[in-house]
Structure 1
Amino acid sequence: MNKNKKFVVALSLATIMLMQNTMPLLAKNNEEGKWMSGEYHTHTTQSKDAGEKITTTEHILDVAFKEADFTSESWSQAAPWELPTQTTDADGAAFDYLVLANHLRPSFRNPDGKTQDLAFYQGLQQEIDKVKALQEEGKYEDKLIFSGFEWDMLGLDHAAVGIIAPNEEQMIEGIKEFEYRYSKETKDTYFTNEETEKYGKRYNENIKENTFHAIGWLKENYPDSYVLINHPARKNGGESELKIEDIRRMNDIAPNIVFGFEGILGNQMSNDGRGESKEVYGGADGMLAEVGGMWDALLGEGRRFFTFANSDFHFKVRKDPTGGSYSGYWPGEYSRNYTWVEGNTMKDLADGLRSGKSFAVTGDLIDALDFRAKGKSEEVEMGDTLKVQKGEEVTLTVRFKSPEVNNYQTLFSTDTATTNEVAVDHIDLISGEVTGKISPNSKAYTNDKNETTKVIQTFTSEDWTTDEDGYNTLTFTVKADKDRYYRLRGTNLEVSAEGQTDEMGNPLRDEMKERPSADSINDHNYSDLWFYGNPIFVDVQGK
């Protein structure tokens, strides 16, 4: 079997003009919005665990937006294996947006990597100022750049947070107060007596109740913000394990703020396990990958809770190919989100993410996806709800496209069976029943399964037609019987691919060999590509 079968704003302060579409529009026109690619969880040298000399703020942005000059002096200290591979030059290869998300911990380095000791909010102000200066020099024109952070949730693992305010000054004040109240790493000594008196009680003891308190505080003070869960299954079995009742409670408190999770993980090259987790299947967190699992349980309540991808970049490869340590891919190198955005600000981007009209992909498996459902009187897209009568026919249409190649290159060895050619082998249509929101007082509040969820149809190239522009289209008709949702996933792998998919096409657990080489990890990742789309809900009237 051929495993490679073809198949801020620095806040930008609402003045930035975003670039035109980076992929052809499939549904709406330019006046209404655009597809944007990017991610919201990457680190720079300002994070203590990302202290490589080349991971400066400027270099991170240069790579994400494909403006890096690898022959320049600033890149001269980098070893070849530290650098990104960027062989894809098709439209959309460069990100349209990037959210920097360093740890909400004291800032031990500035944006250029120089040592310091400041509160996080002060380091973030430096980051914003650095981005502004680079943009004034003419870099990153028409790009959306924002400074968020990765929060050590109290009693839990991590979340990506963006505090969205009317202006930069109010945003910095919000981050400062959030850090004071909810950062377990930032000590009292980073704040003045006047500030501690102003903010009052701290809620930074490492218990879950303080996380829920923080979500409520954001809802009350910065309601346009977001808190998106990172690598949700990473702490499974530990005292910081994220359980479905924790997600339900956060979403119950602020559904407009806690509306999704990092389903396709970052740190995909980690030699501690792909994505730094044992619960990884085809590069996806177990919460996403399991059909009928935790994500499907949330969707089965009708929750608008969506999935995304991130690089979680810290560094790529340290030292050498066998004895070093490996982390993951640079932003834009291996994974990305495509999101429909209507407007020019970070609030507009956050609204696009929370709308659910978004899909996540690894290895540039696809660079366009249009998924919609049509009844007798209306048509909707990802994230939306279609209202139909019982027995009414619903037509599901999928339209997608793949680039010819992705960014794959070997790191050290020249002996490889992997190529950078890209094609989808098959697409799964997955559906589950929507039975309504579960009360916190119900025993079912801890249930993390949706037994009604199944792969209801698998499509291959025999099922879709391809036009002269390379767009593939397929349709499928169902009869409305119960309230349901429909979602998509696709892969370059065949069903029953040895060691990678089962007889239903589900991804198998990513088993990591002892002391794997960087090339073996890289080759495995690029032979195992997936995309996941967000759901469409169908609400049946007259049941």
Structure 2
Amino acid sequence: MGAAALVAAGLVAGSTVHSSRATAADGLDDPQDLAWLVGDHHVHTVYSHDAKYLQSHLLDKAQEFGVDVIAFTEHSNWGHANMGGALNSQRDIAAARLARPGLLIFQGLEWYIPAAEHATVLVAPGPNEARILRQFELLWDGKLNGWEKPAPGSNQAAEWEPKAGEAIKWLAGQKKAGFIDDVVVLANHPSRLGIDSPHEMRAWRDAAPEIVIGMEGAPGAQASAVSAFANAASQRGEYENAPSEFSFKGFPAEAYKTRGGFDWVTSVVGGLWDSMLAEGKPFWITSNSDNHLTAKDTMRIGDYPTGDGWDNGASLNNFNRAGRRPDPVEAGTPQNGSDFWPGQFSRTHIGADSRDYLEVMAAMRAGRMWVDHGHLIDGLDVRVRPVGHSGPGMAMGSTLSVAPGTDVELIIIIKAASKANPNGTVPHLAHVDIIKGLVTGPVADRDNFTAPNTKVAERIDTSGRTGEIVLKRTFANVIEPFYLRLRGSDGKRSGVGPLGADVDPQGPIPHGAGEGDPWADTWFYANPIFIDIKENSPIT
């Protein structure tokens, strides 16, 4: 984009400085000395009916790959709720917290949302963490209560969809009553089956915005297309589905595939995520391993007892009887699996005030998070501030309020990858894209999934740059509320986005047969910063 075009877009490159009366003041700066922690909020163990590993094995791997924060989110099942799964998992976690004080270990749940897909439910450590999860799954789980996959527009959908909002409000009530210190919910793999409609996602958010804070921007199962048993149909994230009778009818066929490994909801500029951000309401993204079965690992699922009442093999009935799967057994040959270890490929970076459970949850709620695949970059800090203000500015997830006509500066500080990733290569960041969207307020149609005022404002070439990369841009004379978010990639695969070249000329694209090597197409995404316009703001 040339200089004239940058000015026309309200975006001025480099070190251009405009006069400003802004001085250091409350509401202009977030803390600069944040503790950036690597997290994975979606991991399964033998306490899930379809997973394989002991907690200790996963914790070893998490620490090997630099994870600071991990959550064990077992599937809702009768064995988990009623045969000791939740309570025994909690005992293991409590022991691990004592043995590994440098690692923050959450207990959570993968909730089957009534009438929809899954979600992470994450509770703060405390005496009631297992009790609240068990009670929640028995009262509100869609699978256990028979509230799964209604046809859109059916009587079942009308009855079951509101139960999700009731469940979220119930969690908020438990926090308010002091039964638990904190709880957050994130929608998991939202477009995998196409059954998370836009109006449902908005309903979950609005039921308790302090509880439902966002979604997986990228699903786990990123090794699906390179697993031991991959085939031509294998897709990153195990997004190998098509529209069904249960799917939201408005979603296009392309919604069922990831783009650069990221969910369609996240990766389409001007799409569903942007349509929610354009309402001016927070809704953040994360990334995680969703580890069940690690690709090409040589351990097999352990053996259940045989005989009286036991099925042959690793059946759900056996799981529900035992409350867990048996310990895995070394097989000596690669086994089936689509996942990476926690922190091996997918990472969520959380900017907490300190290394503390409640501070991590507060940072997640605040949106101080960015995500990457393949260890693409070592660090990222994104800030906005009025031009001339000397403080660090407002960070990801925050809102900067200024008077009309203020010049606003965007500061991006990237630490380029400095060492080989777990694949044995040093990643190189090829570009950073600045995405700008207007905040236009609530939508009339809650099934809307487009944001016509959002587009890529600029692509910045970073190829060949190492060490600390500092980028500054100025948005001059701002008169409308807007948000800014970033993405970047290794530059190996891109194409015109679904909404056209004027919106996204070089965005992530789905992969074809044999093109699903996740290490060959890696991206980072940052959560947005909002710029609000206040007529009476002292900042001009």
| Aligned-pair CA distance for 1:140 | 2.0
- Residues 323 and 174 of structure 1: CA distance in aligned 2, closer, same or farther (over 3 Å): closer
Which of 180, 187, 199 is matched with 1:245 structurally?
199
Q: 3-state DSSP class of the match of 2:360?
A: helix
Q: Is the 8 A contact 1:184 1:205 kept in 2?
A: no
What is the distance in 2 between the residues matched to 1:206 and 1:269? 37
Q: 3-state DSSP class of the match of 1:474?
A: strand
Q: Is the 8 A contact 2:349 2:370 kept in 1?
A: yes
| Aligned-pair CA distance for 1:141 | 2.8
Structure 2 equivalent of residue 536 of structure 1:
529
Which of 490, 493, 496 is matched with 2:491 structurally?
493
Does the alignment pair 1:95 with 2:67?
Answer: yes
Structure 2 equivalent of residue 305 of structure 1:
283
Q: Is the 8 A contact 2:90 2:107 kept in 1?
A: yes
Q: Is the 8 A contact 2:496 2:507 kept in 1?
A: no
What is the distance in 2 between the residues matched to 1:156 and 1:498? 31
Q: 3-state DSSP class of the match of 1:172?
A: helix
- Residues 131 and 174 of structure 1: CA distance in aligned 2, closer, same or farther (over 3 Å): closer
Structure 2 equivalent of residue 432 of structure 1:
437
- Residues 307 and 120 of structure 1: CA distance in aligned 2, closer, same or farther (over 3 Å): farther
Q: Residues 387-438 of structure 1, C-alpha deviation per residue, up to 9 Å, x if partnerless?
A: 12222211111001122344344xxxxxxxxx61211000000011001134
Structure 2 equivalent of residue 80 of structure 1:
none
Q: 3-state DSSP class of the match of 2:84?
A: helix
Q: Is the 8 A contact 2:90 2:130 kept in 1?
A: no
Query: Which residue identity does 2:518 align to in structure 1?
Result: N
Q: 3-state DSSP class of the match of 1:383?
A: coil
Which of 471, 474, 477 is matched with 1:477 structurally?
474
What is the distance in 2 between the residues matched to 1:205 and 1:148? 28
Structure 1 equivalent of residue 138 of structure 2:
180
| Aligned-pair CA distance for 1:498 | 11
Query: Which residue identity does 2:200 align to in structure 1?
Result: D
CA RMSD of aligned residues (A): 3.2
Does the alignment pair 1:404 with 2:409?
Answer: no
What is the distance in 2 between the residues matched to 1:38 and 1:319? 22
**Superposed, which structure 2 residues align to 1:38-117 within 5 Å?**
38-51=39-52, 55-66=53-64, 93-107=65-79
| Aligned-pair CA distance for 1:499 | 13
| Aligned-pair CA distance for 1:332 | 0.8
Q: Is the 8 A contact 1:65 1:140 kept in 2?
A: no
Does the alignment pair 1:526 with 2:519?
Answer: yes
**Superposed, which structure 2 residues align to 1:248-287 within 5 Å?**
248-270=202-224, 271=230, 272-277=234-239, 278-287=256-265
Q: Residues 105-125 of structure 1, C-alpha deviation per residue, up to 9 Å, x if partnerless?
A: 133xxxxxxxxxx52683122
What is the distance in 1 between the residues matched to 2:347 and 2:102? 19
Structure 2 equivalent of residue 144 of structure 1:
104
List 4+ stretches of structure 1 deviating above 4 A: 26-30, 184-188, 203-206, 318-324, 494-503
| Aligned-pair CA distance for 1:357 | 1.1
Which of 405, 420, 425 is matched with 1:420 structurally?
425
Structure 1 equivalent of residue 400 of structure 2:
386
Q: Is the 8 A contact 1:300 1:432 kept in 2?
A: yes
**Alignment TM-score, normalising by the size of structure 2:** 0.73
| Aligned-pair CA distance for 1:220 | 1.6
Q: 3-state DSSP class of the match of 1:249?
A: helix
Structure 2 equivalent of residue 155 of structure 1:
115
Structure 1 equivalent of residue 328 of structure 2:
none
Structure 2 equivalent of residue 69 of structure 1:
none
Structure 1 equivalent of residue 35 of structure 2:
34
Q: Is the 8 A contact 2:266 2:272 kept in 1?
A: yes
| Aligned-pair CA distance for 1:133 | 2.8
| Aligned-pair CA distance for 1:39 | 1.1
Does the alignment pair 1:132 with 2:90?
Answer: no
Q: 3-state DSSP class of the match of 2:186?
A: strand
- Residues 205 and 349 of structure 1: CA distance in aligned 2, closer, same or farther (over 3 Å): farther
- Residues 140 and 106 of structure 1: CA distance in aligned 2, closer, same or farther (over 3 Å): same
| Aligned-pair CA distance for 1:465 | 7.5
Query: Which residue identity does 1:156 align to in structure 2?
Result: A
**Superposed, which structure 2 residues align to 1:320-339 within 5 Å?**
325-339=336-350
| Aligned-pair CA distance for 1:323 | 10
**Alignment TM-score, normalising by the size of structure 1:** 0.73
What is the distance in 1 between the residues matched to 2:521 and 2:465? 24
Which of 292, 295, 303 is matched with 1:314 structurally?
292
Q: 3-state DSSP class of the match of 1:472?
A: strand
Q: Is the 8 A contact 2:435 2:457 kept in 1?
A: yes
What is the distance in 2 between the residues matched to 1:478 and 1:251? 30
What is the distance in 2 between the residues matched to 1:437 and 1:300? 8
- Residues 206 and 149 of structure 1: CA distance in aligned 2, closer, same or farther (over 3 Å): farther
- Residues 460 and 27 of structure 1: CA distance in aligned 2, closer, same or farther (over 3 Å): farther
Q: Residues 221-257 of structure 1, C-alpha deviation per residue, up to 9 Å, x if partnerless?
A: 2253111000000111xxxx11111111111110001
- Residues 510 and 222 of structure 1: CA distance in aligned 2, closer, same or farther (over 3 Å): farther
Structure 1 equivalent of residue 179 of structure 2:
none
Deviates further, 294-303 or 475-484: 475-484
Does the alignment pair 1:222 with 2:220?
Answer: no
- Residues 396 and 205 of structure 1: CA distance in aligned 2, closer, same or farther (over 3 Å): closer
| Aligned-pair CA distance for 1:205 | 12
**Superposed, which structure 2 residues align to 1:195-214 within 5 Å?**
207-214=160-167
Does the alignment pair 1:288 with 2:266?
Answer: yes
What is the distance in 1 between the residues matched to 2:297 and 2:439? 50
What is the distance in 1 between the residues matched to 2:429 and 2:75? 36
Q: Is the 8 A contact 1:494 1:505 kept in 2?
A: no
Q: Which runs of 5+ in 1 are unaligned?
A: 1-25, 67-92, 108-117, 189-202, 410-418
Q: Residues 126-169 of structure 1, C-alpha deviation per residue, up to 9 Å, x if partnerless?
A: 12212333454xx423211011010111110000001337x32x
The percentage of aligned residue pairs carrying the same residue is 30
What is the distance in 2 between the residues matched to 1:496 and 1:383? 27
What is the distance in 2 between the residues matched to 1:185 and 1:204? 14
Structure 2 equivalent of residue 8 of structure 1:
none
Q: Which runs of 5+ in 2 are unaligned?
A: 1-28, 147-155, 177-181, 225-229, 240-255, 299-331
Does the alignment pair 1:395 with 2:409?
Answer: yes
Q: 3-state DSSP class of the match of 2:533?
A: strand
- Residues 331 and 204 of structure 1: CA distance in aligned 2, closer, same or farther (over 3 Å): farther
Q: Residues 4-63 of structure 1, C-alpha deviation per residue, up to 9 Å, x if partnerless?
A: xxxxxxxxxxxxxxxxxxxxxx98465xx4111111001112211113xxx111101110
Query: Which residue identity does 1:211 align to in structure 2?
Result: A
What is the distance in 1 between the residues matched to 2:204 and 2:186? 10
| Aligned-pair CA distance for 1:496 | 5.0
What is the distance in 2 between the residues matched to 1:206 and 1:187? 13
| Aligned-pair CA distance for 1:317 | 2.8
Query: Which residue identity does 1:375 align to in structure 2?
Result: P
- Residues 206 and 401 of structure 1: CA distance in aligned 2, closer, same or farther (over 3 Å): farther
Structure 1 equivalent of residue 457 of structure 2:
456
